[in-house]
Amino acid sequence: MKSSSRKIRITVEEKIARWLRAEAARENTSVTCFLSGILEERINNDANYEAAKRRALNRKPFLKSDGCYLAGGRHTKGLSSPSSKLHNFTPPIFP
């Protein structure tokens, strides 16, 4: 089964266009195929992250835990994406 494609037009800065052309050439492909690959990878990574997050949040608590071994416990509040606050945590500096 052939997947359907849709043409779109984008505008990027010249330095980005140069980089895209160079990277596509390095991989011996067109800029369109190169960008499509990047976008597909991004979509797959997001889907994999969301699936892993759901599995983790649905796990039963272990040992004597109340289930809050993930921030927010069994709730998804604050866990919307890999770039959420949890992943940007800076530990405190002790004197």
Any idea where the domains of the chain sit in the sequence? 14-88
Q: What 3 state SS string does the chain have?
A: CCCCCCCCCCCCCHHHHHHHHHHHHHCCCCHHHHHHHHHHHHHHHHHHHHHHHHHHHHCCCCCCCCCCCCCCCCCCCCCCCCCCHHHHCCCCCCC
Per-residue CA distances from 24 to 6, 31, 59, 68 (Å) = 20, 5, 42, 45
Q: Output the pLDDT for position 19.
A: 96
Q: Output the pLDDT for position 4.
A: 85
* pLDDT by 10-residue block (mean), the chain, 95 residues: 81 96 96 94 90 86 62 51 55 66
Q: Output the pLDDT for position 20.
A: 95
Q: Output the pLDDT for position 71.
A: 56
